[in-house]
Amino acid sequence: MKLKQRVVLLAILLVIFIFTKVFLIDNLDTSAANREDQRAFHRMMASLHVELDPRLDHTLQSPWEIAAQWVVPREVYPEETPELGAVMHAMTTKKIIKADVGYKGTQLKALLILEGGQKVVFKPKRYARDYVVEGEPYAGYDRHNAEVAAFHLDRILGFRRAPLVVGRFVNLRTEIKPVATEQLLGTFMTVGNNTCFYGKCYYCRETEPACADGDIMEGSVTLWLPDVWPLQKHRHPWGRTYREGKLARWEYDESYCDAVKKTSPYDSGPRLLDIIDTAIFDYLIGNADRHHYESFQDDEGASMLILLDNAKSFGNPALDERSILAPLYQCCIIRVSTWNRLNYLKNGVLKSALKTAMSHDPISPVLSDPHLDALDQRLRSILATVKQCTDQFGPDVVLVEDRMTLSHL
Statement to judge: residues 216 and 69 lie in one domain: yes
Tell me if 36 is assigned to some domain: no
Q: Rounded to an integer, what distance in angstroms lies between the CA atom of residue 152 and that of residue 142?
A: 18
Residue pair 144/125 in contact by the 8 Å Cβ criterion: yes
CB 100 within 8 A of CB 179: no
Domain boundary among 207, 223, 239: 223
Give domain status of residue 56, yes or no.
no
**Is 320 known to sit in a ligand binding site?**
no
Q: 342 with 252, same domain?
A: yes
Task: Verify that 309 and 391 share a domain, yes or no.
Answer: yes
| Predicted local confidence at residue 151, as pLDDT | 98
| Cα separation values, 272 from 5, 38, 202, 215, 254, Å | 51, 24, 30, 46, 17
Gap between the Cα atoms of 101 and 109, Å rounded: 7
Which residue out of 100, 274, 289, 376 is catalytically annotated? 289
What span, in angstroms and rounded, lies between the C-alpha atoms of 407 and 276?
A: 23
Whether the CB-CB separation of 283 and 382 falls below 8 Å is answered with: yes
Angstrom distance (rounded) from CA 356 to CA 372? 11
In angstroms, what CA-CA distances link 104 with 89, 110, 204, 267, 401? 27, 11, 11, 31, 38
Q: Are 63 and 86 in contact (CB under 8 A)?
A: yes
Q: Are 164 and 224 in contact (CB under 8 A)?
A: no
- Positive or negative CA dihedral for 244, 250, 254, 259? positive
Answer yes or no: is 223 a known binding residue: yes
Distance CA(154)–CA(274), nearest Å, equals: 13
Q: Are 379 and 345 in contact (CB under 8 A)?
A: yes
Put the strands of the sheet holding 188-191 in their side by side order: 188-191, 194-197, 210-211
- Say whether both 254 and 331 belong to one domain: yes
The reply to whether 173 and 251 lie within a common domain is no
Counted domains in the chain: 2
107 is annotated as contributing to ligand binding: yes
* Shared domain check, 251 and 109: no
Encoded amino acid at 365, one letter: P
**The pTM is what?**
0.90
Residue 308 — left, alpha, or beta (φ > 0 → left; ψ -120 to 50 → alpha)?
beta
pLDDT in tens, 300-323: 778 999 999 999 999 999 999 999
Annotation-wise, does 206 bind a ligand?
A: no
Which residues form the domain of 305?
227-400
Exposure string for 235-261, b = 16+ CB within 10 A, e = fewer: ebbbebeeeeeeebebeeeeebbeebe
Strands 292-296 and 231-235: antiparallel
Find residue 114's DSSP bridge partners.
96, 118
Q: Count how many residues are written for the chain.
A: 409
Instruction: From 223, 252, 270, give the residue that closes a domain.
Output: 223
Active site residue 289: yes
Asked whether 161 and 138 are in contact (CB, 8 A), the reply is no
Domain boundary pick from 170, 204, 223: 223
Strand partners for 233: 294
Task: For residue 13, tell me if it sits in a domain.
Answer: no
Residue 238 is labelled as binding a ligand: no
Residue 131 lies in a domain: yes
- Does any domain span residue 40? no
Give the Å distances, CA to CA, from 240 to 18, 104, 288: 48, 20, 9
216 and 251 fall within a common domain? no
CB burial string 164-187: b at 16+ within 10 A, e below: bbbbbebebeebbbebbeeebbeb
320 part of a folded domain? yes
Cα-based distances in Å from 210 to 10, 39, 149, 268, 362:
79, 44, 21, 44, 20
Is 258 annotated in a binding site? The answer is no
Would the annotation count 396 as a binding residue? no
Instruction: Indicate whether 300 and 312 sit together in one domain.
Output: yes
Are 242 and 108 in a shared domain?
no
**244 inside domain:** yes
Residue 11 lies in a domain: no
Same domain, 335 and 219: no
Q: What is the DSSP string of 62-112?
A: -HHHHHHHH-BTTBSS-S--TTHHHHHHHHHHSPEEEEEE-SSSSS--EEE
222 in a known ligand binding site: yes
Q: How many CA atoms lie within 13 A of 227 on its CB side?
A: 3
355 shares a domain with 294 = yes
Evaluate whether 323 touches 251 at the Cβ level (below 8 Å).
Answer: yes
- Ligand-binding site membership of 250 (annotated): no
Q: In terms of domains, do 356 and 258 share one?
A: yes
Q: What is the pLDDT along the chain (409 residues), one digit of tens a residue?
A: 555 556 545 555 554 444 444 344 344 456 777 889 999 999 999 999 899 988 887 777 999 999 999 999 999 999 999 999 999 999 999 999 999 998 778 899 999 999 999 999 999 999 999 999 999 888 999 999 999 999 999 999 999 999 999 999 999 999 999 999 999 999 999 999 999 999 999 999 999 999 999 999 999 999 999 999 999 999 999 999 988 889 999 999 989 999 999 999 999 999 999 999 999 999 999 999 999 999 999 767 789 999 999 999 999 999 999 999 999 999 999 999 999 999 999 999 999 999 999 999 999 999 999 999 999 999 999 999 999 999 999 999 999 998 655 443 3
